[in-house]
Structure 1
Amino acid sequence: MNLRAAQVYIIMMFMTALASSTMFVTHGIYFVAELGLNPVQLVLMGTVLELTVLLFEGITGVVADTYSRRRSVIIGMFVIGAGFVLEGSVMWIGTMIPVLSLFAWVLVAELIWGIGHTFISGADSAWIVDEVGESNVGNLFLQTKRVSLWGNLLGIGLSVWMSTIAPNLPYVLGGLIYASVGVFLLFFMKETAFVGAVHKQQVSHWQHMKSTWLSGASTVRRNPILFMIVGVTLFSGAASEGYDRLWEMHLITEIGFPQNMALSMPMWFGLIAMVSTLISIAAVRITDSRLDMSNERVVFGAMFGLTAVRIAGIVMLAFSPNLIWALGSILIVGVVNTLSQPIYETWLNMNMESKSRATVLSMISQTDALGQTAGGPIVGWVGSRVSVRASLITAAVLLGPILTVFSRALRRR
């Protein structure tokens, strides 16, 4: 096991978790209370992001497998940083350059963020799996998630503090953190276990990229588990877009916060994120010690159980009669999402070849983007026409087919 690579990966994920938490803990306040976006606009942001991923993911994944996963990740860090700084600066830029509306500038930032994401998506996992080996990566993913949660905790404090000063500052700071990670990786990220296909034979770059993409597509088509993962990812993406974009609006507009407590809105969202993170740290630690991440059937069963709990949590939030009930539901969904990520990544990497790993991971990410692009506008439309509660119920319904797929597969296996 390459311990140096593992350390670099852990630091990278800690810093990106810090940046993401800094931005996203209070982003509902920025977009809903400050910029005044409605449910359709909130979902359209995600639609632009996911369409970008859908269009560019396959290209950048092939680039990572053809040239260098390291180079792809570093480029992505700088591009994402630029996108987030722009997103946090739309109020200033909209005043100085009024050729676009504030919402249009937000969409441009989402476009840049999406392009940067495609450079990293798949490439980071493919790099670390090759460096440490498939047999070690499951436990490393869980360990990384546990460390990342501490980054989340630090980011919560930064988010609340910066949002209290100005609602847009968390995005500016988050973008700068991403750029600093790019600088760090330039010096410390090494690629020792992978040689890009373009360096192996003397044929054209485009021929290598084409053959790599076809190899990845063939891998998905031949492997029933990977083909099933594509279906699961499609419906999961469709459901997650609605929930991720609208749960804050549900709290702000339909549940509300107590007026007789000396807590500002940023403090409420910070408190929610902090409690969720602390519970998640404990849950990941228990999972790491008790779940055999090298046993595919165990991993498979864990995904089934977590999906069922996720559906129940979203439905509970939709029918919440008060703030306490809503907060409990949000915590359940948050912990489930935290546990699902490393288990899902382990499940993915158990079923693919090294030479096309980044390409296949990018194809899976494209499937997620397709689901979010197709399902997000539907969920947003329901929220505008009926209510945000109805949107949440729609998101839960979209997760239903995943349980059917899991149950049938478990019976077969």
Structure 2
Amino acid sequence: MHLSRLKLKAYPVYLLMVGTYSLAGAIMFTLNLVYQVEIVNLNPLQLVLVGTTLETSCFLSQIPTGVIADVYSRRLSVIIGFVLTGIGFLIEGLIPNFAFVLLGNIIWGIGATCIDGAQEAWVIDEVGEEHAGRIFTRGSQVSQVAGLLGIPISIALGSLRLNVPVVTGAILILFLGLLLPLIMTENNFVPTPREDRNSWQAMGRQFIEARRALQIKPMLISIFGAGLFIGLASEGFDRLNQIHFLQDFSLPTIWGLTPVIWFGIMSAGSSLLGIATTELVNRGLNMNRTRSLVRALTVIDSLLIVCVVGFALAGNFYLALLAFWGARVMRTAQQPLYSTWITQNADSRIRATIFSFAGMVDAIGQIGGGPIVGYIGERASIRAALTVTGLLMTPILFFFLRAFRLLNRENASKQEENLAEPVTELEI
């Protein structure tokens, strides 16, 4: 009875973690890029380099931080992660200097990898796999609601001073990290077997297994190829959209709306439209049919390219806003479909490896593409950089075309096999 009572405590603690992190994230990120542009005075190249530094930190710290969760304690890994994340953002918010913003993002990257995966593994260990679907679904709902609540809070705090939302969110995350040792239990942790732990050898095995999977399942080449160019293009759009609004447009002053309020409206609009679009896709698309899935991804990514280029070249604020919302919505709709596409083409035995490898491909794309786009933004213009960002995604369409050809070939092979089957004569 005592053990059961302890297990039940994990569920509300998990919801507290995801809700607080989402609330703090919305408070910080709604105006974070505005803070970096207006207060820290970062140029386009520096803005992108901040994101590249974060991605590099996450990529390089996956192995050492994974050892904590695999060998010592998932609870400890999560606590360290929240404390480091809070410290990282506190440094960024208190010291408006490019070098310290980079330092803060390095620390955040390490903290994020401590949390990533360990948080989910911890709660499943504590409550049991049979409750995973319900817990993660409710966690996603709590995260969405908390994120929406954080936007008006960010606007109110940003109206005082642009670094206040960053500092407030950082303190909230740091407080969570210091609270967790008092309320977070761990009763069912079993160290991961040595051969399954995160290590450089394990990463090497992942590459070998992924290469074998590519030979067995050629569709994975299209999946990884599309993922690479998604990564190449994502960093430029994510890091340069707010500076584009600030420097290339005059934000309307109707109804007394300040720039801070406008960015809150943009963020809230993106979130609400994203939630609605995801629901429409889930209801209207048969995700069990690969052809329907690839067709939907082709349409979504084609629209994404049009929206990003349209955002770059828009001649007035309202066209830019519509294109921005369109791009954000397409990005939101794309993510679950891409994950489903991977699932359909990865054998269950190596599915985790394939997902991990897909994450590495995306990270490599972001690390490689970000500085190029940032350099163009610094040397030419932000419009040019965002246009290149949109054009960087066009090779994705080639990989979708290749996917359709593979599907047609598979269908033709199945038809030939059916025709080749011997026909048994009916006895009269």
Distance across 1 between alignment mates of 2:118 and 2:23: 20
The answer as to whether partners of 2:68 and 2:76 remain within 8 angstroms in 1 is no
The answer as to whether partners of 2:65 and 2:77 remain within 8 angstroms in 1 is yes
The answer as to whether partners of 2:343 and 2:351 remain within 8 angstroms in 1 is no
The answer as to whether partners of 2:309 and 2:391 remain within 8 angstroms in 1 is no
Superposition TM-score, scaled by structure 2 size: 0.79
Structure 1 range deviating more: 140-149 or 217-226: 140-149
The answer as to whether partners of 2:223 and 2:399 remain within 8 angstroms in 1 is no
Distance across 2 between alignment mates of 1:214 and 1:129: 28
The answer as to whether partners of 1:66 and 1:212 remain within 8 angstroms in 2 is no
Is 1:287 the counterpart of 2:277? The answer is no
Is 1:154 the counterpart of 2:149? The answer is yes
Distance across 2 between alignment mates of 1:330 and 1:384: 21
Going from structure 1 to structure 2, the CA distance change for 1:245 and 1:209 (only over 3 Å counts) comes to closer
Q: For residues 15-164 of structure 1, what are the structure 2 equivalents within 5 Å?
A: 15-61=20-66, 64-65=69-70, 70-91=75-96, 102-124=97-119, 145-164=140-159
Q: For residues 310-325 of structure 1, what are the structure 2 equivalents within 5 Å?
A: 310-325=304-319
Q: Which amino acid aligns with 2:247?
A: T
Measured against aligned partners, the alpha-carbon deviations of 1:1-36 in whole angstroms (never above 9, x if no partner) come to x99877765554333222221111112321111222
Q: CA deviation at 1:58?
A: 4.1
Q: For residues 149-228 of structure 1, what are the structure 2 equivalents within 5 Å?
A: 149-182=144-177, 187-188=183-184, 196-198=192-194, 209-224=199-214, 228=222
Q: CA deviation at 1:264?
A: 1.1
Going from structure 1 to structure 2, the CA distance change for 1:219 and 1:194 (only over 3 Å counts) comes to farther
Is 1:267 the counterpart of 2:256? The answer is no
Distance across 1 between alignment mates of 2:164 and 2:289: 44
Is 1:333 the counterpart of 2:338? The answer is no
Distance across 1 between alignment mates of 2:348 and 2:121: 10
Q: Which amino acid aligns with 1:197?
A: P
The answer as to whether partners of 2:31 and 2:158 remain within 8 angstroms in 1 is yes
Going from structure 1 to structure 2, the CA distance change for 1:55 and 1:404 (only over 3 Å counts) comes to same
Q: CA deviation at 1:159?
A: 0.9
**2:241 paired residue among 243, 247, 251:** 247
- Which residue in 2 is equivalent to 1:98? none
- Larger RCO (alpha carbons 8 Å, 6+ apart): 1
Structure 1 range deviating more: 343-352 or 246-255: 343-352
- Which residue in 1 is equivalent to 2:385? 391
Distance across 2 between alignment mates of 1:4 and 1:409: 46
Going from structure 1 to structure 2, the CA distance change for 1:353 and 1:109 (only over 3 Å counts) comes to farther
Superposition TM-score, scaled by structure 1 size: 0.81
Measured against aligned partners, the alpha-carbon deviations of 1:53-83 in whole angstroms (never above 9, x if no partner) come to 2322344346545665554344322211211
The answer as to whether partners of 1:157 and 1:270 remain within 8 angstroms in 2 is yes
Structure 2 residues without counterparts, runs of 5 or longer: 1-6, 408-428
Distance across 2 between alignment mates of 1:373 and 1:115: 16
Q: CA deviation at 1:403?
A: 2.2
Structure 1 residues without counterparts, runs of 5 or longer: 92-101
Going from structure 1 to structure 2, the CA distance change for 1:153 and 1:129 (only over 3 Å counts) comes to same
